[in-house]
Chains A and B, each alone.
Chain A
Amino acid sequence: AQSVTQLDSQVPVFEEAPVELRCNYSSSVSVYLFWYVQYPNQGLQLLLKYLSGSTLVESINGFEAEFNKSQTSFHLRKPSVHISDTAEYFCAVSGGYQKVTFGTGTKLQVIP
Chain B
Amino acid sequence: DGGITQSPKYLFRKEGQNVTLSCEQNLNHDAMYWYRQDPGQGLRLIYYSQIVNDFQKGDIAEGYSVSREKKESFPLTVTSAQKNPTAFYLCASSIEGARNQPQHFGDGTRLSIL
Chain A residues proximal to chain B, CB less than 8 Å: 9, 32, 34, 36, 41-46, 49, 51, 90, 94-96, 99-100, 102-105
Contact partners of A100 in chain B: CB under 8 A = 99, 103
**Contact (Cβ within 8 A) A9 B40:** yes
B90 at interface by CB-CB < 8 Å? yes
In chain B, residues 70-114, which have Cβ atoms closer than 8 Å to a Cβ of chain A? 90, 92, 99-100, 102-108, 110
Contact of B43 among A49, A94, A96, A102 (CB under 8 A): A102
Closest to A34 in B: B102
Chain B residues proximal to chain A, CB less than 8 Å: 4, 6, 9, 33, 40-43, 45, 48, 58, 90, 92, 99-100, 102-108, 110
Q: How far is the CB of B64 from chain A (nearest CB, A)?
A: 16
**Contact (Cβ within 8 A) A43 B99:** no
CA distance A104 to B9 in the complex (A): 23
CA distance A53 to B48 in the complex (A): 30
Known: A42-B107, A43-B90, A44-B105. A104 touches B40 (CB 8 A): yes
Query: Could you name 15 residue pairs across A and B whose Cβ atoms are closer than 8 Å?
Result: A41-B9, A41-B107, A41-B110, A42-B108, A43-B107, A44-B103, A46-B102, A46-B104, A90-B42, A94-B100, A95-B99, A99-B45, A99-B58, A104-B41, A104-B42
CA distance A44 to B37 in the complex (A): 11
Contact partners of A45 in chain B: CB under 8 A = 105
Q: How far is the CB of B88 from chain A (nearest CB, A)?
A: 8
CA distance A105 to B12 in the complex (A): 26
